[in-house]
Structure 1
Amino acid sequence: MFDNLQDRLAGTFKKITGKARLTDDNIQATLREVRKALLEADVALPVVKDFVGRVRSRALGTQVGKALNPGQQFLRIVESELVAVMGEANESLNLAARPPAVILMAGLQGAGKTTSVAKLAKFLTEREKKKVLVVSADVYRPAAIAQLQTLAGEIGVECFPSSADDKPTAIANAAIDHAKRQFFDVLLIDTAGRLHVDEALMEEIRELHRVADPVETLFVIDAMIGQDAVNTAQAFNEALPLTGVILTKADGDARGGAALSVRQVTGKPIKFLGMGEKVDALEPFHPDRIASRILGMGDIMSLIEEAERKIDKAKAEKLVKKVSKGKRFDLEDLRDQLQQMQDMGGLTGLMDKLPGMGNMGQMVQQADMGKQFKVMEALINSMTPWERQNPDNLTSSRKRRITQGSGTQIQDLNRLLKQHKQMEKMMKKMKGGGMAKMMRGMGGMLPGGGGLPPGMGR
Structure 2
Amino acid sequence: MAFEGLADRLQSTIKKITGKGKVTEQDVNAMAREVRLALLEADVNFRVVKDLIKRIKERAIGQEVLESLTPGQQVIKVVKEELTALMGGEQSRIAVADRPPTVIMMVGLQGAGKTTSSGKLANHLRKNHNRTPMLVACDVYRPAAINQLETLGQQLNMPVFSMGTDANPVEIAEKAVEQAKADHQDYVIVDTAGRLHVDGDLMQELTEIKEKVKPDEIFLVVDAMTGQDAVNVAESFNDQLDITGVVLTKLDGDTRGGAALSIKAVTDKPIKFAGMGEKLDQLEPFHPDRMASRILGMGDVLTLIEKAQTNVDEKKAKEMEEKMRTMSFTFDDFLEQMGQVRNMGPLEDLMAMIPGANKMKGLKNAQIDERQLGQVEAIIQSMTKAERQEPGLMNASRKKRIAKGSGTTVSQVNRLLKQFEEMKKVMKQMTNMQKGKKGKGFKLPFM
Is TM-score (shorter-chain normalized) higher than 0.5?
yes
Contact 1:399 1:410 in 2 (8 A): yes
Structure 1 residues 96-175: aligned runs within 5 Å = 96-175=97-176
Aligned residue for 2:179, secondary structure, equals helix
1:5-25 deviation line (CA, Å, top 9, x unaligned): 111111111222444433221
**What residue is the counterpart of 2:48 in the other structure?**
47
Secondary structure of 2:195's aligned partner? coil
1:448 maps to which residue?
none
Moved more, 100-109 or 55-64: 55-64
- Matched residue type, 2:378: A
Distance 1:84 1:393, change over 3 A: same
| Alignment-mate amino acid for residue 192 of structure 1 | A
Work out whether 1:87 is the aligned partner of 2:88.
yes
Corresponding position: 1:274 with 2:271:
no
Q: Does 1:288 align with 2:289?
A: yes
The Cα of 1:365 is off from its aligned counterpart by 7.0
Out of 426, 441, 446, the position equivalent to 1:444 is 441
What is the TM-score normalised by the length of structure 2? 0.93
1:14/1:96 CA distance change after superposition, 3 Å: same
Structure 1 segments of 4 or more deviating over 6 A? none
Unpaired runs of 5+ residues, structure 1, are 446-451
Q: Which residue of 2 aligns with 1:417?
A: 417
Distance in 1 (CA, whole Å) between partners of 2:286 and 2:170 is 31
SS of residue paired to 1:252: coil
Cα displacement (A) at 1:392 = 2.3
Q: How many residue pairs were aligned?
A: 446
Answer whether contact 1:22 1:62 (CA < 8 A) is retained. no
Establish whether residue 261 from structure 1 lines up as the match of residue 262 from structure 2. Answer: yes
Moved more, 296-305 or 421-430: 421-430
| Partner residue, 1:322 | 323
Of 189-198 and 172-181, more deviation after overlay is shown by: 189-198
Whole-angstrom distance in 1 between the partners of 2:42 and 2:359? 17
Q: Is the 8 A contact 1:100 1:179 kept in 2?
A: yes
Question: Which deviates the most, 9-18 or 296-305?
Answer: 9-18
**TM-score, structure 1 as length reference:** 0.91
What secondary structure sits across from 1:320 in the alignment?
A: helix
TM-superposition CA deviations, 1:177-215 (whole Å, max 9, x none)? 110111111000111222453222221222222222111
Q: Is the partner of 2:221 in helix, strand or coil?
A: strand
**Paired residues of 1:196 and 1:202 also in contact (CA < 8 A):** no
Say what the alpha-carbon RMSD is for the aligned residues: 2.3
Deviation at 1:67, TM superposition (A): 7.2
What pairs with 1:53-92 in structure 2 (closer than 5 Å)? 53-62=54-63, 64=65, 68-92=69-93
Unpaired runs of 5+ in structure 2?
none
Q: What is the rounded CA distance, in whole Å, between the counterparts of 2:361 and 2:264 in structure 1? A: 27
CA contact (8 A) 2:100 2:186 kept: yes
Other-structure match for 2:250: 249
Question: In structure 1, what is the Cα distance between the partners aligned to 2:349 and 2:435?
Answer: 24
- C-alpha separation between the residues in 2 aligned to 1:124 and 1:175? 18
Change in 2 beyond 3 A, CA 1:162/1:87: same
Q: Which shifted more, 160-169 or 31-40? A: 160-169
CA distance in 2, matches of 1:455, 1:97: 50
Label 1:385 to 1:68 Cα distance change in 2 as closer, same or farther (>3 A).
Answer: farther
Match of 1:380? Answer: 380
- Match of residue 333 from structure 1: 333
Identity, % of aligned pairs? 49
Q: 1:169 to 1:455 in 2, by over 3 A?
A: closer
Corresponding position of 2:178: 177
CA separation of 1:66 and 1:345: change in aligned 2, threshold 3 A: farther
Q: Contact 1:101–1:185 at 8 Å: present in 2 too?
A: yes
